[in-house]
Amino acid sequence: MAKPRILVLAAIASVGLAACGGGSTGTATVNKPDKVQIAAEGPFTGPQAVIGAGALQAIQLAVKDFNKAGGVNGTQVTLLIWDDQHTAQVAQNFQAVGISDPTVLGIVGPMNSGVVLGTAPGLQQASPPLPLVSESASAVAVSESGWGVVHRVNARDDAQGPADAKFMMDQGAKKVFVMDAKSDYSIGLADQTQKYLKDHSVSLQRESAQQGQKDFSTIVTKIKASGADWVYFADEGPEAVFLVNEMKHQSLTIGNNIQFLGTDGEEDASIIANTQGAYAGAYATNIAADPAGLTSSAAQNYVTAFKAEYGPDSLSKAGPFYGSAYEAAQVLLQAIKNSPVKNGKISRADVLSNLGTATFNTIFGSVKFDSKGDVTGGGIYVYQAKGTQMVVVKQVSG
Amino acid sequence: MGYFLQQLVNGLELGSLYALVALGYTLIYGILELLNFAHGDVFMVGAFLAAGAAAALVHNEIAAIPGGFVVVLMLLVAMGGAGVLGVAIERVAYRPLRNANRLAPLITAIGVSLFLENAVFVWVSPAPVLVPTNALVSQGVIQAGSVATPLTGLVLFAGALALMIALDLFVFRTRFGSAMRATAQDREAATFMGIDVDRVIMVTFFIASALAGLGGVLFGLRYASVDFFMGYGLGIKAFTAAVIGGIGNIRGAMVGGLLLGVLESLSGGFISTQFQDTFVFLALIAVLLLRPQGLLGQPVTDRA
């Protein structure tokens, strides 16, 4: 990482020296782009705002921090906010604006796999193609479809699903009640987990919750009748609170007569409070690390800065991706900064090629993409509800 | 057999929830022929008001005053607040359009619904908010053989039934109720008879919305958590229930709600939860094809 940065510094220094030597003021502004814009895209309102709102805050903070540190050679980056509401059609309307404006250099997002899958072809066909760095799209197809514009900092379902299944098997699971919540993300992940369990002859039953479902009595009665010893709920939304409350009503006690493993949205400590403690002992995995659960100073400094910006209780509302969203924004902004400025313009083509080759310095350490746009060495984190906190109990490399 | 009975009880409980919201839908439709799509969100606001009242009085699972009083206070705040909100919505979004194209108030209704959802999202909380039920009501479970249901679920069922009966009596046995029915039959003629139609409509909105507020409290006590999007899904199901029962018919709303809840629970319990909603809306289509006016509805002749 240090290398390209030193080169850039050296380049700036030499330009500066040349400017001094020549006594000209014009050359000092050669490397200053006229206008730099990036977009934050995700479900910032609507039912999925639980994951989107905190991510947006993180991206806004990342841009603010980047601009405070000087922006792109002195030019402040403008952030466009594209609230796609988890819908590809809405996303396309926003992206059309970005595609036609060459100063829009990249997208942080889209957050949902379904939206990436629906809009990537359009971004790819733009001229030049409009690159994206997602902080949370985890469906396998997102990076397996051969779109060069797609990058993501989170791990994939085919890393998470088997890791989840293996974790339950290691804990002695005999029969798993596998549930999805009827979204591209949760069905894809539940399928991966189900496949791994089936391949290893663990008996299972598959069911679905509805997005936004409140009454889980039917499903919980079914869980009891199934004789399962583990409940696996692939979900990113706020449904877990209601499921766990209903389990308590029907005397299924987590850690006692049932075990619980949730995914991405469910390593949120607010679930413990909202279930009045019934969630204690439950496990959840996440494709992105929660900076609050890490000890590195970069992660801790970010948590402090986030709280300073948005209030002391802001973390409880920040959702599972406030770390990876900041990371994705850092990556995109560094790729832009690394790109050459020609006649006051930065080309998206250069940003895209830089994304593919450079190593980026983020709050989670250094990050690099493989040829498909997947992050190399992305990890799966296992959390457990202990007391009022979700604590990382295990890290599985993906 | 035990499994069947348990799923039946689950369904009746869920159905009571649908019925509670459907009663308000049907009441307003009965008077104004207006589909108040914001009704589910008034329910949500009521639930949030109740949660707020509870949060103000309960700290660390210990209530400042006895739990029963907190619940009474939650009821007052939620019903009063939701009632006033309903009246305000009628005044701002529906009354100016009363003589406009029938599609116009439908659009403002959807607008109000989106506004309420996003207002609560931005100003209150994007994440679910706790109702500290442990400190408020008995967490007891009623056990009858192999069938069990939480006490709060029974209250939900009893509450819906009692409200349906009370509303039925109110509309068919009181002076004000006859004014409501007169307004429903012919607004102009009602005016000639000395009925203050604006007032009747306002009170109808207050009652329907206060009902939604009450539903919000019962929901909070049963499910212990509320979120800004809860009104949307419930609203759609409740609307479906009202249509199945015969929209505009109070008993129909109750029957439709319970039927929908039981259907959902049994199809989920015996076939697959993956197709639960498919069966629900299949039932709606079947009812609409065979009895377009709904199970208990009267065939309507189109009024000019």
- In this predicted model, what pLDDT tens digit does every residue of A122-146 receive, in sequence order? 999 998 999 999 999 988 899 998 8
Residues in chain B closer than 8 A to A207 (CB atoms): 272-274
Q: Closest chain A residue to B151 measured between Cα atoms?
A: A249
**DSSP sequence for A169-181:** HHTT-SEEEEEE-
Q: Is residue A17 one of the residues assigned to a domain?
A: no
Domain of residue A121 covers 31-155+294-367
pTM over 0.80: no
Q: Is A283 in contact with A261 (CB distance < 8 Å)?
A: yes
Residues in chain B closer than 8 A to A251 (CB atoms): 141, 148
Quote the number of domains for chain A.
2
Contact A207 B272 (CB under 8 A): yes
- Nearest CA distance, B209 vs chain A (angstrom): 21
Q: Is B159 in contact with B167 (CB distance < 8 Å)?
A: no
For residues A48 and A299, the model is more confident at: A299
- For A245, the closest of B3, B148, B224 (CB atoms) is B224
Q: Is residue A59 one of the residues assigned to a domain?
A: yes
| The pLDDT of residue B114 | 93
Tokens of B215: 């539903």
A251: helix, coil or strand? coil
- The A residues from 279 to 308 touching B (CB cutoff 8 Å) are none
- The answer, yes or no, to whether residue A26 has pLDDT greater than 70, is no
Q: Are residues A275 and A345 in the same domain?
A: no
Q: Is residue A324 one of the residues assigned to a domain?
A: yes
What pLDDT tens digit does each residue of chain B (304 aa) get?
789 999 999 999 999 999 999 999 999 998 888 889 999 999 999 999 999 999 988 887 787 788 889 999 999 999 999 999 999 999 999 999 988 888 899 899 999 999 999 899 888 887 788 898 888 888 888 888 888 888 888 999 999 999 999 999 999 999 999 999 999 888 889 999 899 999 999 999 999 999 999 999 999 999 988 988 899 889 999 999 999 999 888 999 999 999 999 999 999 999 888 888 888 888 889 988 998 888 887 765 544 3
Q: Which of A51, A56, A178, A217 to mutate to test the interface with B (most CBs of B within 10 A)?
A: A217
Contact B233 A210 (CB under 8 A): yes
| The pLDDT of residue A397 | 61
| The pLDDT of residue A20 | 44
Contact B224 A274 (CB under 8 A): yes
Q: Are residues A340 and A352 in the same domain?
A: yes
**ipTM score of complex:** 0.86
Mean pLDDT of chain A: 88
Q: Are residues A218 and A172 in the same domain?
A: yes
Q: Which of A85, A215, A252 to mutate to test the interface with B (most CBs of B within 10 A)?
A: A215
Q: Are residues A231 and A246 in the same domain?
A: yes
| The pLDDT of residue A13 | 47
Contact B225 A242 (CB under 8 A): yes
| The pLDDT of residue A378 | 65
- Nearest CA distance, B3 vs chain A (angstrom): 8
Contact B273 A217 (CB under 8 A): no
Q: Are residues A139 and A262 in the same domain?
A: no
Q: Closest chain B residue to A180 measured between Cα atoms?
A: B274
- Cis (ω within 30 of 0) for the bond into A312? no
Q: Is residue A20 one of the residues assigned to a domain?
A: no
Q: Are residues A151 and A167 in the same domain?
A: no
For residues B142 and A191, the model is more confident at: A191
Contact A274 B128 (CB under 8 A): yes
Contact B125 A317 (CB under 8 A): yes
Residues in chain A closer than 8 A to B153 (CB atoms): 217, 249
Residues in chain A closer than 8 A to B14 (CB atoms): 215, 217-218
pLDDT digits (tens, 9 = 90+) for A8-25: 444 444 444 444 444 444
Of A232, A216, A265, A276, the closest CA to residue A47 belongs to A265
| The pLDDT of residue A244 | 94
Instruction: Say if strands A389-397 and A379-386 run parallel, antiparallel, or are unpaired.
Output: antiparallel
Rg (CA), chain B: 19
- The B residues from 255 to 284 touching A (CB cutoff 8 Å) are 264-265, 268-269, 272-274, 276-277
Please state the rounded mean pLDDT for residues A186-200: 93
Q: Is residue A343 one of the residues assigned to a domain?
A: yes
Q: Is residue A13 one of the residues assigned to a domain?
A: no
Q: Which of B3, B227, B262 to mutate to test the interface with A (most CBs of A within 10 A)?
A: B227
- The A residues from 251 to 270 touching B (CB cutoff 8 Å) are 251, 268, 270
| The pLDDT of residue A1 | 41
* CATH code at position A355: 3.40.50.2300
Q: Is residue A222 one of the residues assigned to a domain?
A: yes
- The answer, yes or no, to whether residue A29 has pLDDT greater than 70, is no
Q: Are residues A136 and A175 in the same domain?
A: no
Q: Is residue A5 one of the residues assigned to a domain?
A: no
Q: Are residues A171 and A282 in the same domain?
A: yes
Q: Closest chain A residue to B232 measured between Cα atoms?
A: A212
Boundaries of every domain in chain B: 16-231
